[in-house]
Structure 1
Amino acid sequence: NMFLVPALQWPGMNIVQGKDDIFLDLKQKFWNTYKTGLMYWPFVQLTNFSLVPVHWRTAYTGLCGFLWATFLCFSQQSGDGTLTSVFTFLRKKEASAVERPPEK
């Protein structure tokens, strides 16, 4: 189940990183990530079964799973488990790229 991945991922990563409280990320981010998943996956499956041709469905869900895994990795490092944190991060990156002069 894709909703339970953060529950397993965060304590494991915190052990590897040597953090003192291995459940801190889980306590702080799980419910936000769970709610985000409840908004993301039903939309993915609705479009999958209503718009995507049968022969493309596996590839489509694979792509959506890759995007979800990318979101989980971002959330582990910098986010708070919400899509808002991703958009805020992307806007900051875009703004900093505009401010910097091109390197020669």
Structure 2
Amino acid sequence: MRSGVVGAILQEKDDIFLDLKQKFWNTYLSGLVYWPFVPLTNFSLVPVQWRTAYAGVCGFLWAIFVCVSQQSGDGTLKSAFTILRTKWTSAMEGSPEK
């Protein structure tokens, strides 16, 4: 969440800790739900040669979640999925049919 404070400073917001106050615990709890399953699945289901790539993809997905949460969510996985689903369906509706 440190980047949230830096972003608030760069955006010259009045309360630079507002995002941290509003989203820290939700994001922290979401991480407690997400991250234990990453090593569990990595070491039990993923072949040895793919484990580094799998962990990298999981980290990339977490970074996307944090960015979406910082932009318009409340720090919960539910809000991130709702935002992504809304954007996905609007993109699919706007795509030209063949």
TM interval, short-chain normalised = 0.7 to 0.9
Aligned: 1:83 with 2:80: no
Q: What SS does structure 2 have at the residue aligned with 1:52? A: coil
Correspondence 1:18-37 to 2 at 5 A: 18-37=12-31
Correspondence 1:12-23 to 2 at 5 A: 12-23=6-17
Structure 2 regions of 5+ residues with no counterpart?
none
4+ residue runs over 4 A deviation:
97-103
Deviation at 1:102, TM superposition (A): 4.4
TM-score, length of structure 1 as denominator length: 0.82
Percentage of matched positions with identical amino acids: 70
Specify whether residues 64 and 102 from structure 1 end up closer, same or farther in structure 2 by C-alpha distance, changes over 3 A only. Answer: same
Q: In 1, Cα distance between the equivalents of 2:93 and 2:41?
A: 38
Q: In 1, Cα distance between the equivalents of 2:56 and 2:78?
A: 23
Aligned: 1:45 with 2:63: no
Which amino acid in the other structure matches residue 19 of structure 1?
Answer: K
Query: 1:92 corresponds to which residue?
Result: 86
> How many positions carry a matched residue from both structures?
97
Q: What SS does structure 2 have at the residue aligned with 1:86? A: helix
Deviation at 1:9, TM superposition (A): 1.6
TM-score, length of structure 2 as denominator length: 0.87
Aligned: 1:9 with 2:3: yes
Query: 2:58 corresponds to which residue?
Result: 64
